Chains A and B, each alone.
Chain A
Amino acid sequence: MAVKSKTPATEPKIVSNGNGSAKATEPRIAVWKTYKIYIGGAFPRTESGRYYPITLSNGNVVNVCLSSRKDFRNAMTVAREAAHKWASKSALIRGQILYRMAEMLETRGAQFREELQWMGMTEAQARTEVEQAVDRLIYYAGWADKYQQVFSSVNPVASSHFNFSALEPTGVVAVVAPEESPLLGLVSVIAPVLAGGNSCVVLASESRALSAVTLAEVLSTSDLPGGVVNMLTGNLKELLPHIGGHMDLNAFYLHTSDAAHIKTAGELAALNVKRLITESQTNWSSPDAQSPYRILDFCETKTTWHPIGI
């Protein structure tokens, strides 16, 4: 993104001087990024070949992948494979990788600010959004190797057993990211899922999808194993039945205020009794937008009864 936000894309105007080379005085043709999806550590286009346009404040129109149910299915397959890999890493390493993501996001700050402004934010809003997103990753990086101690317990029981409860990742989580906050909101919903040792398939904000794709580029350079986060862009209404019904999905983190969507998701989630967590948070700067309890939402508690005194 070498082009300033106020510069409109230039039409190719190469004038031949007769010997095959273009005139040196012509303006350079801007090279715009193709916003692709992120599956298994690679950036494919949607298998459906469909796109939808997003009009930016600088007058440009970008075509973003309109992901299909098959893209979701493919992402689910790789997320399932990656779930074991990610869960078997030590909590410390998971925290360090989250920290690395924060570092990468910080160094790409200018690019994110520019994209956020193209999507309608003021410069000040964009700056705050990026800074808080970095801080949020740091917050969960810190919690990654601490929440287990806080939430695990040794339980008093009446029989001669040593009884304790420990946390384990839920598995594969589908995340439908908040529509309004394209970076901070997105980071705020992915980070606790990752800190808990889960892999995820994310459906980004439909109308503000750019920073989700760019965040995927950050993830791919942060030592995060491919497939742990998969980023799709597309339409919630179209994908909801396929996400909600997927029998291999362990949890569904749905951000919407649409009661019909929540009802559909709840009915479908019952098929394999996947966890369904719905939220309609809009203010991601508020104090309750980050909390270790958000990690707990994507953990299972395993309680062990260990015989003693026999």
Chain B
Amino acid sequence: MSAGFAFVPWNEGLVKPHLFVLLTFNPRIMAHTSTLYHPSISPPVDQIGVEERCARFQTRSIKNETKTEMLKLALSMIDLTTLEGKDSEGKVKQLCYKAMHPHDILPGIPQVAAVCVYPTLVRTARKALKGSNVKVAAVATAFPSGLAPLKVKLDDTRFAVEEGADEIDMVISRGKFLQGEYNFVFDEIAAVKEACGKAHLKVILETGELSTLDNVRRASDLAIYAGADFIKTSTGKIQPAATMPVTLVMLQAIRDYYYETGIMIGMKPAGGIANSKLALHYLVMVKETLGAEWLNPDWFRFGASKLANDILMQLVKQQTGVYQSLNYFSND
């Protein structure tokens, strides 16, 4: 990070000492002073290098026993998600049941990590999940566009927390970010973090709208410095959603921040991870980029709806030896 600091010309009247402070002390302590993020602290991303590295993650040979354990781990990391306009209490209850009982016929499989719903359905989910360890995550801050005044976003957040959400998934203002208004985005995240109280904050970068990996890296750094507990790729409403290169860049941001401060940040790729094989590639990537400490639901999540059934089908395939059909798994 200091290398980036040295090479960037400063002619925008920005206050250098602040950045010095940023790089010297734990920036989270400074979270409410202005000008806390400048893109120069984010190193440029070598796109070709990232793509090649991602291709390498997909060549690992994974033996059967390991595969079974990885599939179970991946299942336990899923944020089972339903984010549709037509969501109803019934649908959420069904999803919550699925979260607690993924496939009862199969012994020894874990529950998923969380159920992710809109704020108005948090209470339903909370009630349905009572007594289990499954968390309730709510998307807030005018999800998925994020185009609302800050006051509305904060109210949205507080409402979700009051209703019982353990985790808040917020969206950043991509328009402002792309216009270079980093301080605006930074302050917004910091304000939402404050509104979250005890709830964990996941910051959705919506990488499908950020155009370049450089932007992804910048948004990751910005979100981390502004107080994110987790950074998340996408809303699932925009294509492309989570991809391996984008996730790798975000993992690298988390790694660099960890080296700098010793603070761990979680990662959640969301959208587009529909099959087990891809999920296993992601786990390999996390292991080889961040290390084994991140390989649990506290630090890594999959935002997905179809992935759970595919993992279950693979687990049953492992057990029975025959390829499975979706007809025999709950449809939700």
Within 8 A of A (CB), among B312-332: 321-328
Return chain B residues, CB-CB under 8 Å to A248. 323-327
Given the complex of chains A and B, what is the CA–CA distance between A191 and B324 in angstroms?
27
Q: Interface on chain A toward B: helix, strand, loop, or mixed SS?
A: helix
Q: How many residues of A contact B (CB 8 A)?
A: 11
Within 8 A of A (CB), among B300-322: 321-322
Return chain A residues, CB-CB under 8 Å to B325. 246-248, 272
Return chain B residues, CB-CB under 8 Å to A247. 322-325, 327-328
Which partner residue on chain B sits nearest A69 by CB separation? Answer: B323
Shortest beta-carbon distance, B105 to chain A, in Å? Answer: 13
Shortest beta-carbon distance, B103 to chain A, in Å? Answer: 14
Given the complex of chains A and B, what is the CA–CA distance between A268 and B320 in angstroms?
12
State which of B323, B324, B326, B327 has its C-beta within 8 Å of the C-beta of A242: B323
Asked if A261 is at the interface of the complex by the 8 Å CB criterion, the answer is no
Mark A254-287 against chain B: 1 for CB-CB distance below 8 A, else 0. 0000000000000010011000000000000000
Which partner residue on chain B sits nearest A73 by CB separation? Answer: B323
Which partner residue on chain B sits nearest A268 by CB separation? Answer: B322
Return chain A residues, CB-CB under 8 Å to B322. 242, 245-247, 268, 271
Given the complex of chains A and B, what is the CA–CA distance between A46 and B34 in angstroms?
57
Asked if A76 is at the interface of the complex by the 8 Å CB criterion, the answer is yes
Which partner residue on chain B sits nearest A172 by CB separation? Answer: B325
Shortest beta-carbon distance, B179 to chain A, in Å? Answer: 41
Shortest beta-carbon distance, B133 to chain A, in Å? Answer: 31
Given the complex of chains A and B, what is the CA–CA distance between A73 and B310 in angstroms?
13
Given the complex of chains A and B, what is the CA–CA distance between A290 and B10 in angstroms?
81
Return chain A residues, CB-CB under 8 Å to B327. 247-248
Shortest beta-carbon distance, B58 to chain A, in Å? Answer: 13
Within 8 A of A (CB), among B32-80: none
Return chain A residues, CB-CB under 8 Å to B321. 241, 245
Return chain A residues, CB-CB under 8 Å to B323. 73, 76, 242, 245-248
Return chain B residues, CB-CB under 8 Å to A272. 325
Within 8 A of B (CB), among A228-254: 241-242, 245-248
Shortest beta-carbon distance, A256 to chain B, in Å? Answer: 20
Given the complex of chains A and B, what is the CA–CA distance between A247 and B323 in angstroms?
6
Given the complex of chains A and B, what is the CA–CA distance between A73 and B313 in angstroms?
13
Return chain B residues, CB-CB under 8 Å to A242. 322-323
Which partner residue on chain B sits nearest A244 by CB separation? Answer: B322
Return chain B residues, CB-CB under 8 Å to A241. 321
Given the complex of chains A and B, what is the CA–CA distance between A73 and B327 in angstroms?
16
Interface residues of chain B, those whose CB is within 8 Å of chain A, are 321-328
Could you pull out 6 A-B pairs where Cβ atoms are within 8 angstroms? A245-B321, A245-B323, A246-B325, A247-B322, A247-B325, A248-B323
Contacts A241-B321, A245-B323 known; 6 new A-B pairs at CB < 8 A: A245-B322, A246-B323, A247-B327, A248-B325, A248-B327, A272-B325
